Amino acid sequence: MVSEAQPVRAPDIERAVSAVREAGDVQTPLAALALDLLSRQAEGRTFYAGEKLVAARAEAHGVTREAAATEAGNLLAILERGPDTPLERALVAAFAVAGLAAAKDADRKERVWRFVRHADWLELCTDYAVYPFVDRLLEEGRAADVWAELAQAVVDEAAGRDGERPEVRARNAGRLSALADSNAVASKDALRRVVSSAALDEPTRLLASTLAGDGAAELSTAPARVEGELGRAPRGSALELLRWLSGWAILSWAIRGLGFLLGVRRKAELTLNGGAVTVRTELSMLGRVIRGGEERWRLDALDGAGRRVRYPALHLMVGVVALAVGVLFGGVVLFDGARSGELVLLLLAAGLLLGGAALDLALDVLVPGKRGRVVLDVSARSRRPLRLTRVPLDQADAFLRALRGQG
């Protein structure tokens, strides 16, 4: 559905920025309120926060109707009924961006990750314009964090299973346009990093290179060498189903786990040398090499190579299960404790409930910040597919980029 609302234009942006800067002492609570509500809308995929929710969050942030008055309109009144004009949408977005500046350094990376995820949805699915305020209202370092995270979102989604789907390309086109619209050095550097990534499909790469517009598509001089731990190579869906039905998948997992406890490690190194890829493998136990090998794979025999994030949603699944288990068993113990009046049972119930919630929160907050390791798959004719795990992201991209340059 195409929106009929007037777009936010430069005069609206400048007036909104001026209103934020002139807010004085109430800028911080107003910014926190706007960021809170827009984040909740984006998280719930809703276009309107609702008057009751706005009133409750305003009270929580200590915002009164009198304090919400700005030179561009009363922010609280706008949030209660929903913004109607481009200036009102600009005012809400500007205060929300200013709210990101209050994030503490301890949770800075996680807050930026969430901000970009929410801003993506707001930019694509609503009439809000969020990214034009990043350079205007955030200090240089925090703005650079936003542009770097936005560029990483392009690479992550392009490298995923659905990277070539039209809706993914549309999202990435919007992200790349936001990077190109910024005049900051950090946004241009982030755009160049996107262009140099080997994970992009060709249409997205061409768009990024065109928007960069300054020779950013030149290949990196990073060495074409990558190393990691040998993992189980992917198989066809029929074979995977047979592995699980036969119980071999569980048995092999147990064997690998036992080997890990005994100090068994299987590593591999891939080096691109002229017209071939040199594959060196090594089996070690307790730090001592037991067996090694070397092969050369010709480039014209390669069927494909690519990288991806392994189990990208695993932490979310584990967190949900932990929360569900904590609520279920904690509720049972709480009921028994309340009925019998046993303090120990009540404390145990509280521990289960809080433990499940804490684990869910920790996984949701900490894991997104732990980036940098990926899985690299390489396949060739007449050879078994090769999978390297725990590969540094920059190494994987440099290797794939060099491989593509010689392909």
Q: Which among 158, 30, 178, 187 has a CA at the least distance from the CA of 97?
A: 30
Q: What is the reported pLDDT for 309?
A: 62
Cβ(59)–Cβ(76) below 8 Å: no
Per-residue buried b or exposed e for 215-228, using 16+ beta carbons within 10 Å of the residue's own CB: ebeeebeeebebbb
Q: What is the reported pLDDT for 216?
A: 45
Q: What is the reported pLDDT for 321?
A: 59
Vertex 389 angle, CA 388 and 390, to 5°: 130
> Residue 344: what are its φ and ψ, rounded to 5°?
-60, -45
d(CA 160, CA 157): 5
**Where do runs of H (alpha helix) occur along 287-342?**
314-340
**Where do runs of H (alpha helix) occur along 127-184?**
134-137, 140-158, 166-181
Q: What is the reported pLDDT for 367?
A: 47
What are the mean pLDDT values of the chain's consecutive 10-residue runs (407 residues total)? 73 95 91 95 88 93 94 94 94 95 76 93 93 95 94 86 81 92 93 80 80 57 71 68 72 75 84 81 84 82 73 51 65 72 71 65 48 76 80 78 70
Q: Which tokens in the block code for residue 166?
A: 């039209």
